[in-house]
Amino acid sequence: MSSLAGKVALVTGASKGIGAAIAQELAARGAAVAVNYSGSKDAAEKLVAGIQAAGGKAIAVQANVADPASIDGLVHTVAQQLGKIDILVNNAGIYEFAPLEQITPDHFHRQFNLNVLGLLLTTQAAVKHFNPEGGSIINIGSVVGKMAVPNAAVYSATKGAVDAITVSLSKELGAKKIRVNALNPGLIITEGAHSAGIVGSDFEGQIRADTPLGRVGQPQDIATAAAFLASADAGWVNGQTLYAAGGYTR
């Protein structure tokens, strides 16, 4: 297990689900972690308390990264309270499924404003506060960026954009010794998957059947992959897309 001792990490959308698992894993490996949340204050503070109880260091920072006006304050708070940033995990995102006839400008902009523009502007702000020695940026994408499913044209488009952004920024930020990679999960059983009715559905069953390892994912499956990309073990990995989906392909 590669140590992240002395590192500072900012994880967006980290109060629950994949983001919370990543924050916990990075903290367990020694990083000081900023747990960003938008509305789930209690969940974020509970996560921070758990990290601290286990001997780690963490803070909770409220900001909606879909709102450009809140991003500079988020990054400034992290740098002020924890120090120069070494790791940025762009995890905050939403998904809304809709068939073609139900797509609206609001449906489009809600997802692009957070999943794409929010990611870009958070990265822009964070790079100004990165450790001069470099670091790692991990963009949480999705298998649907490449393997799109029906009724997800807009969401799939946002994740395809994340893949493209990852490659572009890896070339742009390489001179600063900042590595940029995408981590693309398959179906992960989170609170959101439960609330969306995916768990126990025919859709989940089909994904499970199409996955060579014979199961769907858990948040910890993504957290350990993120920790690898954040660490020195991935020091020669840049501009790549890592699919963490049990071999799922369509």
Query: Residue 165 and residue 193: Cα distance in Å, rounded?
Result: 26
- Does 95 qualify as catalytic in the annotation? no
Q: Give the active site residue among 37, 95, 155, 243.
A: 155
DSSP code of residue 101: G
User: Which of 88, 138, 122 lies closest to 241 in space, CA to CA?
Assistant: 138
DSSP code of residue 143: G
Token pair recorded at residue 120: 């870009």
Question: CA 23 from chain center: how many Å?
Answer: 10
Query: Residue 93 and residue 11: Cα distance in Å, rounded?
Result: 12
Question: CA 4 from chain center: how many Å?
Answer: 18
Catalytic residues: 155
